[in-house]
Structures are given as structure tokens and as C-alpha cells.
């Protein structure tokens, strides 16, 4: 089992996601990991959209197995002032992921419904890339809508330890929900164990 969303090299392999533009070189040369190029919504204010669009096309062309991310929307009070810029950057990431046929890792805080609308619109226009929703913590009704769009989900120890975890995750089909460590590589073993317990609880 690989780590489906992390910012640190993992002995198990997985998707190593950029946070800032300065990360790309390092993650591209990390052995055993699938690099994902992008700029995290927390750093939207520092990004130049035109430069990001150009760089993404260039780096994805030169790295045919790379993914895109971390991108997404964060409407929490701390980050909501940059939401307009976040949306512009999100569409640049989504467009690049679609054109290059790559998976995109999406972060959503107080924004799952808006993300769903954006992805639905892209499906309608036939410009929807493959999507992974990281740190997924939405209700199952919302998960079902994302599942219809082909989305994958990844969850870490924080999500799996939530009192609503069984309700949120047990009905997501096999092959669509995966473990992640995000910024906590030390949580790997417990994350995999907890996800396994949740799955076994479903089948036993």
C-alpha cells in the first residue's frame, strides 16, 4: 500500500506533493515517489498565475508520470481573503491536469460543495481530469456525488480518528479510498491499521 498524499519521502512510495513552487525540483528528484507539481492554496498570494500555467505545462511534459497538486480551495477564516486567487490557480491546475491526463490532488476546507460544482461543470464541458480529494471529511451524500465524477479519496489519522469516521468512510467502495500521511509521516502504520479496521468492520 502506498501513501496517497504526502509532503515527505516515504519508504512505501506514493504521491509526493509540492506545497510551493520552490519544492518542485526536490520532489521531482526524490526516488521511489510520484511527484505532483503545484502550489498549495495556502500560498496562493505568492503565486504568479501566468508563470504557474507555463511552468506546469513545461514540468508535466518533462515528467510524464508526475501528477498535479497540491491545489484546491481553503475558505477558512485564515485563508478566505485569497479565495479569488485560489480559484484562478485551481483552474490552472485543473486545466493542466486534464490536458496532460494526470491525477490532481485537491485540498478542500469549507469548500467541498464549491469544488463539486467546479468539477461538475468540467465534466459537463468534458475537461475533467482524474481527481483525488485529500483529507476527505465530507458527509457520504457528498462523497457519492464525487464518486459519480470518478474521484478518489485519501484520509489520514486525523480524519480516521473522527467520531463520524465510520459514517463518512465505510461506504466508500474498495479502490476509491486510500491512506495518506500528509505532513505526518510518523502516522503511517496507525493510519493503515485504522483504515483496515474500518474496512473489516464493514465486511465482517
Task: List contacts with Zn ion (CB under 5 A).
Answer: 70, 182
Nearer to Zn ion, 12 or 127 (CB): 12
| CB within 8 Å of 76: residues ≥ 6 apart | 109, 110
Q: What are the strands, taking DSSP E only, across the chain?
A: 3-6, 14-17, 33-37, 67-74, 103-109, 130-134, 152-155, 177-179
- Joined together, the cell numbers standing for residue 87 give 480559484
User: Minimum distance from CB of 56 to Zn ion (Å)?
Assistant: 18
Nearer to Zn ion, 55 or 70 (CB): 70
User: Minimum distance from CB of 16 to Zn ion (Å)?
Assistant: 10
Whole-Å CA distances, 148 to 8, 73, 119, 152? 31, 21, 11, 10
Spatial separation of the C-alpha atoms in residues 105 and 2, rounded to whole Å = 15
Nearer to Zn ion, 159 or 182 (CB): 182
3-state secondary structure of 133: strand
User: Minimum distance from CB of 202 to Zn ion (Å)?
Assistant: 26
User: Minimum distance from CB of 97 to Zn ion (Å)?
Assistant: 16
User: Minimum distance from CB of 4 to Zn ion (Å)?
Assistant: 11
Nearer to Zn ion, 109 or 147 (CB): 109
Q: Which residue is nearest to Zn ion (CB)?
A: 182
- Joined together, the cell numbers standing for residue 93 give 491546475
Nearer to Zn ion, 23 or 70 (CB): 70
Nearer to Zn ion, 40 or 63 (CB): 40
User: Minimum distance from CB of 152 to Zn ion (Å)?
Assistant: 15
Q: Which residues of 17-51 are buried (b: 16+ CB within 10 A; e: fewer)?
A: bbbebebbeebbeeeebbbbbbbbbbbbeebeeee
Q: What is the CA radius of gyration of the chain?
A: 16
Amino acid at each position: 500500500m502506498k501513501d496517497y498524499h504526502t509532503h515527505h519521502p516515504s519508504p512505501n512510495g506514493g504521491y509526493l506533493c509540492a506545497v510551493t513552487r520552490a519544492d518542485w525540483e526536490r520532489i521531482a528528484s526524490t526516488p521511489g515517489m510520484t511527484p505532483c507539481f503545484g502550489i498549495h492554496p495556502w500560498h496562493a498570494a505568492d503565486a504568479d498565475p501566468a508563470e504557474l500555467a507555463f511552468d506546469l505545462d513545461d514540468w508535466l511534459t518533462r515528467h510524464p508520470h508526475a501528477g498535479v497538486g497540491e491545489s484546491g480551495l481553503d475558505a477558512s477564516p485564515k485563508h478566505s481573503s485569497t479565495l479569488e486567487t485560489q480559484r484562478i490557480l485551481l483552474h490552472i491546475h485543473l486545466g493542466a491536469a486534464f490536458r496532460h491526463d494526470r491525477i490532481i490532488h485537491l485540498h478542500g476546507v469549507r469548500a467541498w460543495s464549491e469544488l463539486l460544482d467546479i468539477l461538475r461543470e468540467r465534466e459537463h464541458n468534458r475537461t475533467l481530469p482524474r481527481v483525488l480529494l485529500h483529507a476527505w471529511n465530507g458527509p457520504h451524500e457528498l462523497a457519492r456525488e464525487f464518486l459519480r465524477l470518478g474521484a478518489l479519496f485519501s484520509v489520514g489519522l486525523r480524519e480516521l480518528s473522527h467520531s463520524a469516521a465510520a459514517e463518512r468512510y465505510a461506504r466508500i467502495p474498495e479502490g476509491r479510498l486510500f491512506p495518506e500521511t500528509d505532513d505526518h509521516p510518523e502516522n503511517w502504520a496507525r493510519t493503515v491499521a485504522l483504515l483496515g479496521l474500518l474496512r473489516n468492520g464493514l465486511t465482517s
